[in-house]
Structure 1
Amino acid sequence: MKQSVNSSIIYKATLVASVGGLLFGYDTAVISGAIGFMRTYYHLSDLMTGWVASCALLGCILGVMYSGKLSDRIGRKKVLMLSGLLFTISSVGTSFAPNLWIFVVFRIIGGMGIGVASMLSPMYISEMAPAAIRGRLISIFQLGIVSGILVIYFVNAYIAGIHDESWNISTGWRWMFGSGVTPSVIFILLLLTVPESPRWLVGQKRETEALAILNTINGSIIAQQELNSIQESLKNEKPFSLTALKEPKLKRALGIGILLATFSQITGINAIMYYAPEIFKSTGVGSDSAFMQTVLVGIINVAFTFVAIKYVDIWGRKKLLLLGISGMAVCLFIIGFAFFKQQQGYLILIAILGYIACFAMSLGPLAFVVIAEIFPTKARGTAMSVATFFLWLAVFLVSQTFPVLIGSIGNAYTFWLYMVIAVIAFLFIWKKVPETKGKTLEEIEESL
Structure 2
Amino acid sequence: MSNTINHIEVKKSSTYLYLVCLVAALGGFLFGFDTAVISGTVSLVKNDFSLSAVSEGWFVSCALLGCIIGVSFSGKLSDKYGRKIVLILSAVLFLASALGCMLSNSFTVLIIFRLIGGLGIGVASMVSPLYISEFSPSRYRGMMVSLYQLALTIGIVLAYFSNAYLANHTGDTYSGGMQTIFSAQVWRGMLGLGALPAAIFLICLFMVPESPRWLLLKGQEQKAEAVLIKIDGSDAAAHEIKAFKEQDDNDSESLTELFKPVYRKALWIGLLLPFLSQVCGINAVIYYGPRILEQAGFTLNNALGGQVTIGLVNVVFTFVAIFTIDKWGRKPLLFAGVGGAVVSLVIIGALFALGVTSGPWILIFILAFIACFAFSFGPVCWVVVGEIFPNAIRGKAMALATLSLWVGNFLVGQLTPVMLEGLGSSWTFWLFALCCSPALWITWKLIPETKGRSLENIENYWKETYKGKA
What letter matches 2:137 in structure 1? P
Q: Give the letter for the 2:330 counterpart.
A: R
**Map of 1:185 onto structure 2:** 199
Counterpart position of 2:190: 176
Instruction: Give the structure 1 partner of residue 72 of structure 2.
Output: 65
Tell me the equivalent position of 1:81.
Answer: 88
Alignment correspondent of 2:211: 197
Q: Which residue of 2 aligns with 1:371?
A: 385
The structure 2 residue matched to 1:270, chosen from 276, 283, 301, is: 283
In structure 2, relative to structure 1, the CA distance for the partners of 1:36 and 1:291 (3 Å cut) is farther
Residue among 305, 314, 329 paired with 2:327: 314
Among candidates 136, 141, 146, match of residue 153 of structure 2: 146
The equivalent position to 1:326 in structure 2, one of 332, 339, 359, is 339
Residues 198-250 of structure 1: CA deviation (Å, up to 9, x unaligned): 111111111111111111112112211211222333733211233x2442222
Indicate conservation of the 8 Å contact 1:32/1:276, yes or no: no
Cα distance, 1:412 vs structure 2: 2.1
Q: 1:238 aligns with which of 252, 258, 263?
A: 252
Q: What is the CA–CA distance in structure 2 between the aligned matches of 1:348 and 1:108, rounded to whole Å?
A: 36
> Mean alpha-carbon deviation: is it higher for 230-239 or for 179-188?
230-239
Q: Is the 8 A contact 2:170 2:184 kept in 1?
A: no
CA distance change for structure 1 residues 171 and 337 in 2, over 3 Å: closer, same or farther? farther
- Mapping of residues 26-425 of structure 1, within 5 Å: 26-38=33-45, 42=50, 45=53, 51-163=58-170, 171-233=185-247, 235-242=249-256, 244-342=257-355, 343-344=357-358, 346-425=360-439
Deviations 1:7-43 (A, max 9, x none): 1221111100011111111111112333355566656
Alignment-mate amino acid for residue 123 of structure 1:
L
- Which moves more between the two structures, 375-384 or 250-259? 250-259
Question: Is the contact between residue 153 and residue 291 of structure 1 (CA under 8 Å) also seen in structure 2?
Answer: no
What is the alpha-carbon distance in structure 1 between the residues aligned to residue 416 and residue 57 of structure 2? 7
Amino acid at match of 1:392: W
Seen in structure 2, the aligned counterparts of structure 1 residues 327 and 99 have a Cα distance that, compared at 3 Å, is: farther
Q: Partners in 2 of 1:402 and 1:56 — Cα distance?
A: 18
Letter in 2 for 1:301: N
Report if the CA contact (8 A) 1:60-1:113 is conserved.
yes
- The structure-2 alpha-carbon separation of the partners of 1:172 and 1:310, relative to structure 1 and needing over 3 Å to count, comes to same
State the percentage of identical aligned residues. Answer: 46
AA aligned to 2:102 is S
Query: Residue 339 of structure 1: SS of its match in structure 2?
Result: helix
Return structure 1 stretches of 4+ with deviation > 6 angstroms.
Answer: 167-170
Q: Which amino acid aligns with 1:419?
A: A
- Deviation digits for residues 332-388 of structure 1 (CA, Å, limit 9, x no counterpart): 122223333441462222121111100000000000000000000001011111111
Report the AA paired with residue 378 of structure 2.
Answer: G
Q: Kindly report which structure 2 residues correspond to 1:16-35, keeping only aligned pairs within 5 A, or say none.
A: 16-35=23-42
CA RMSD of aligned residues (A): 2.3
Cα deviations across residues 262-302 of structure 1 (Å, max 9, x unaligned)? Answer: 01111111111222233334444444333322211111111
Task: Say whether the 8 Å CA contact 1:157–1:292 is kept in structure 2.
Answer: no
> Contact between 2:94 and 2:120, CA under 8 Å: does it hold in 1?
yes
**Pair 1:146–1:433, CA change in 2 (3 A):** same
Q: Do structure 1's residue 437 and structure 2's residue 451 form an aligned pair?
A: yes
> Conserved in 2, the CA contact under 8 Å of 1:198 and 1:213?
yes
**Is the 2:98–2:195 contact (alpha carbons within 8 Å) kept by the matching residues of 1?**
yes
Distance 1:19 1:213, change over 3 A: same
In 1, Cα distance between the equivalents of 2:56 and 2:248? 47
Q: TM-score, normalised by structure 1?
A: 0.92
The code of the aligned residue for 1:273 comes to I
Cα distance in 1 between the residues matched to 2:207 and 2:446: 39
**Separation (CA, whole Å) in 2 of partners of 1:403 and 1:21:** 26
Is there any run of 5+ residues in structure 1 with no aligned partner, and where?
A: none
List gaps (5 residues or longer) in structure 2.
1-10, 172-180, 463-470
Letter paired with 1:404: V
User: Taking structure 1 as reference, are residues 336 and 380 closer, same or farther at Cα in structure 2, changes over 3 Å only?
Assistant: same
Larger-Rg structure: 2
CA distance in 2, matches of 1:310, 1:112: 32
